[in-house]
């Protein structure tokens, strides 16, 4: 008689959750067909080895599975790296760790957040009025050290005038992206990964594509000021928020920096 207890239910639920998140990662990386192929192979392997008990074919499939795990790690190393970054840097886990840090109260201070958010918002508004294109990336949990290395390191306090001067049309750094890390302007003139998503509206230019690409590869918030229309938009977690008001931009930045 087959026994079915609480541990079996938990086992099934954990496998279902694992498969669901694997499916999401594959779908976001446009590798869904590979995921379906892997699942079919696993089902065939389990059926041959456990149900039909075919020893020779089961042994061959066992060897293929062992090699296949290494191949999957090599093929999807960037997706696995991003997943582990997000897992370790999850907002709830980070908050729990900060509670044991003496800086926890300071980082939760609203005044400190406003001090860094307001200059970004005011600079975006002024640049939007003058139709000055800009792309600002605010780091969240996933480190952007590799992106910082593509530009010129500044390491300065977040300052409205500095932001506007960097993106001034005659500035040598105005075409790249500005990276803000740990409440400081870390670098400017940085190169971002460009999204090749076919669903991006045609009226959106290269800055928007770069912002979306950055938001798809990290959990950073990207602020875009359009040089053509003078509108302010953001990209976060692979989603655009277009034509934002100053209040909406401030709310997004405040939520990110808390």
Residues 148-204 pLDDT 10s: 999 999 999 999 999 999 999 888 888 899 999 988 999 999 999 998 887 888 888
Furthest-apart CA atoms within the chain: distance in Å: 79
What's residue 139's pLDDT?
Answer: 92
Strand order in the sheet with 177-181: 152-157, 184-190, 177-181, 134-138, 221-225, 232-236, 239-241
> CATH number of the domain that 168 lies in?
3.40.1700.10
Pair (158, 216) in one structural domain: yes
Mean pLDDT of 203-207: 88
The answer to whether 146 touches 85, Cβ cutoff 8 Å, is no
Rg (CA), the chain: 23
pLDDT in tens, 94-137: 544 554 455 544 444 555 566 789 999 999 999 999 999 999 99
pLDDT in tens, 41-90: 778 877 777 777 777 777 777 777 777 677 767 766 666 666 666 555 54
Pair (168, 112) in one structural domain: yes
Pair (187, 225) in one structural domain: yes
What's residue 24's pLDDT?
Answer: 67
Burial track 62-82 (b if 16+ CB lie within 10 A, e otherwise): eeeeeeeeeeeeeebeebeeb
Pair (29, 139) in one structural domain: no
Pair (121, 200) in one structural domain: yes
Token reading at 214: 């950055």
Would you call 223 helix, strand, or coil by DSSP? strand
pTM flag (> 0.75): no
The answer to whether residue 193 sits within a structural domain is yes
The answer to whether residue 96 sits within a structural domain is no
Higher pLDDT, 227 or 64: 227
Point out the least confidently predicted range of 40-54, 184-198, 218-232, 244-258.
40-54
Pair (69, 139) in one structural domain: no
pLDDT band at 3 (very low <50, low <70, confident <90, very high): low
Residue 226 has pLDDT above 50, yes or no: yes
Pair (156, 193) in one structural domain: yes
What is the total count of domains within the chain? Answer: 2
The answer to whether residue 95 sits within a structural domain is no
Pair (119, 56) in one structural domain: no
The answer to whether residue 171 sits within a structural domain is yes
Residue 30 has pLDDT above 70, yes or no: no
What's residue 5's pLDDT?
Answer: 74
Pair (173, 251) in one structural domain: yes
Closest by alpha carbon to 216, among 200, 233, 193, 242?
Answer: 193
What's residue 164's pLDDT?
Answer: 95
The answer to whether residue 206 sits within a structural domain is yes
Range of the domain at 22: 6-88
Pair (121, 249) in one structural domain: yes
What's residue 243's pLDDT?
Answer: 93
CA distance 159 to 163: 6
Higher pLDDT, 256 or 92: 256
- Strand blocks (E) in the chain: 134-138, 152-157, 177-181, 184-190, 221-225, 232-236, 239-241
The answer to whether 166 touches 173, Cβ cutoff 8 Å, is yes
Pair (110, 78) in one structural domain: no
């Amino acid at each position: 008689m087959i026994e079915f207890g609480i541990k079996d239910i938990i086992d099934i639920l954990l496998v279902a959750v694992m498969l669901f998140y694997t499916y999401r990662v594959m779908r976001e990386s446009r590798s869904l067909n590979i995921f379906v192929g892997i699942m079919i192979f696993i089902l065939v392997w389990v059926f041959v080895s456990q149900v039909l008990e075919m020893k020779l074919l089961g042994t061959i499939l066992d060897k293929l599975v062992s090699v296949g795990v290494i191949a999957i790690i090599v093929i999807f190393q960037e997706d696995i790296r991003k997943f582990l970054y997000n897992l370790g840097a999850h907002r709830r886990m980070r908050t729990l760790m900060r509670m044991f840090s003496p800086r926890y109260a300071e980082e939760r201070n609203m005044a400190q957040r406003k001090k860094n958010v307001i200059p970004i918002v005011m600079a975006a508004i002024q640049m939007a009025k003058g139709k000055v294109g800009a792309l600002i990336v605010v780091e969240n949990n996933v480190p952007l050290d590799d992106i910082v290395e593509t530009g010129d390191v500044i390491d300065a306090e977040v300052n409205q005038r500095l932001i506007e001067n960097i993106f001034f049309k005659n500035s040598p750094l105005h075409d790249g992206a500005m990276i803000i890390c740990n409440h400081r302007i870390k670098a400017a003139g940085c190169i971002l990964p460009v999204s090749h998503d076919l669903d991006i509206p045609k009226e959106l230019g290269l800055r928007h594509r770069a912002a979306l690409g950055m938001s798809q590869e990290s959990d950073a918030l990207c602020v875009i000021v359009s040089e053509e229309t003078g509108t302010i938009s953001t990209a976060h977690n692979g989603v655009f928020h277009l034509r934002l008001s100053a209040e909406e931009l401030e709310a997004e930045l405040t939520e990110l920096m808390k």
